[in-house]
Structure 1
Amino acid sequence: MQVALVTVGDEILAGDTVNTNAAWLGRELAERGVDVERTTVVPDRVEDIAGVVRDYHTGYDAVIVTGGLGPTHDDVTMEGVAAAFDRDVVESEEALRWLEEDGYSRDDLTEGTGDVPEGARVLPNREGVAPGCVVEDCYVLPGVPDEMKRMFEDVDEEFAGEVRHVAVVEADEPESALLDRLRELRERFPVTVGSYPGDSVSVKIQGTDAEAVEEAAAWLDERVE
């Protein structure tokens, strides 16, 4: 399964907020064997949201959009997603009914709180107010991290792939000095390899065959300082 992530928010593009949602979703999806092929940040503009969702909808099995939910002037994600699928934004009776059951009065809710693209499957916000939704293969989640994580729990079983096994080998050598050994590692074993320099070089070995990953890690560990 291949997925694209879209984060909505001027504050992320300006550097005022760190995009922790994409990092968290990337880890969660990877643990389920799902390939995250794209992570994109777009501003709070309907046309930008619609354009990237429309493009990714045709290229990937699912799109996850986070941020920009709610009734304020810059919360335009629902409108952008609706435009991507040529749908209207409508008031969801299901969302309003759920909010009432959660203790909110319709009269006290800001206009637009329960709006979703027409025909969408509503996702209750169990940590906040503004609902999320699913439109075809596009999952729309809140930007507030606690709300996003809780809502993802309600749909996480809809994301699945072939689980990968991971091993990490630390090498106290320059990354450039490891190139020949990493190339031989890929030739010998059915694994993928990534190297990440820091105080030492962390070599991340991944594969769907647990035994092959273990053997590859042991082989490399014997050949690095």
Structure 2
Amino acid sequence: MNAAVVTVGDELLAGRTTDTNATWLCERLTDRGVSVDRITTLPDRIGDIARVVNEYRAEYDAVIVTGGLGPTHDDVTMEGVAAALGRSLEEHDGALVWLEQEGYSNDDLTDGTADLPAGARALHNDVGVAPGAVLEGVYVLPGVPSEMRAMFETVESEFSGTPTHREVVVIDEPESALLDRVERLRAEFDVSVGSYPGEFVRIAIESTDETSVERATAWLRERSETVSGDA
């Protein structure tokens, strides 16, 4: 299973808010064996949201969109997703019933709070108010991190794939000196290899086959000046 993550918000693009949602989602998805192939941040513009969601839903098994939910003037994500899917926005009866059960009457709710793309499955917001939605592989979640995380956990079981095994070897050598060894790792063990320089060089070895990762890791450690306690 592969996925794209789309975060929406002018404040993200202006640097006033740190996008922790994408990082958290990627970690959870990766742990479940889902390959995240895109992370895209968009402004609060209906046209941009519609264009990107429409493109990504054709390419990926799932598209997760966070941010811009609610009834205020700049909360346009639902409208953008509806446009991408060729749906109208409609008041969702199930969302209204759930909100009423939570103690919100129609008089308490701002117009548009429960508007979702026609035919969508509502995702209830146990931490906030604005509901999320699922339709045609597109998952729409709130932007408030606590709300987003709680809502994602209600659908997390719908995301699955082949887990990737990963080991990291920390080496006290110049990155340029490791080029030949990295190439041999890739050729001989059928693993993906990432090289991350800093005070030391961190070589990350990954594969869906745990034995290949273990063999490649052992091979590299035997031929390198590793740092004690590498991880």
Query: 2:15 maps to which residue?
Result: 15
How far residue 176 of structure 1 moved from its aligned partner, in angstroms, is 2.0
Q: What's the offset of the Cα at 1:174?
A: 2.1
Cα deviation 1:161-187 (Å, max 9, x = unaligned): 111111110012222221111000111
Using the TM superposition, give the Cα deviation of residue 23 of structure 1 relative to its aligned residue in structure 2, in angstroms: 0.7
Q: Which amino acid aligns with 1:218?
A: A
1:191 equivalenced with 2:191 (yes/no): yes
Matches for 1:38-187 after TM superposition, within 5 Å: 38-187=38-187
| TM-score between the two structures when normalised by the length of structure 1 | 0.98
Q: Give the unaligned 5+ runs of structure 1.
A: none
Aligned-partner SS, 1:18: coil
Find out whether 1:217 has 2:217 as its counterpart.
yes
Residue identity over aligned pairs, in percent, reads 62
Kindly report the root-mean-square deviation, in angstroms, between the aligned alpha carbons of the 2 structures: 0.9
TM-score (norm 2): 0.95
> Could you say what secondary structure the match of 2:107 adopts?
helix
Q: Residue 44 of structure 2: SS of its match in structure 1?
A: coil
Equivalent pairs counted in the alignment come to 225
The alpha carbon displacement at 1:209 in A equals 1.3
Instruction: For residue 116 of structure 1, report the CA deviation from its aligned partner.
Output: 0.6
2: distance between equivalents of 1:103 and 1:114? 14
Query: Per-residue displacement from partner, 1:60-101 (whole Å, max 9, x unpaired)?
Result: 111000000001110000000000011101111111110111
In 1, the alpha carbon distance for the partners of 2:169 and 2:70 equals 45
What does residue 205 of structure 1 align with?
Answer: 205
Q: Distance in 2 between matches of 1:172 and 1:102?
A: 57
SS of alignment partner, residue 155 of structure 1 = helix
SS in structure 2 opposite 1:107? Answer: coil
Residues in 2 aligned to 1:47 and 1:66: alpha-carbon distance in whole angstroms:
16
- Give the Cα separation in 2 of the matches to 1:65 and 1:84: 12
Q: Which runs of 4+ in 1 moved over 3 A?
A: none
Mapped to 2, the partners of 1:67 and 1:196 lie a distance apart of 31
Distance in 1, matches of 2:68 and 2:174, equals 43
For 2:100 and 2:224, the matched residues in 1 are separated by 61
Match of 1:154, SS?
Answer: helix
2:23 maps to amino acid: A
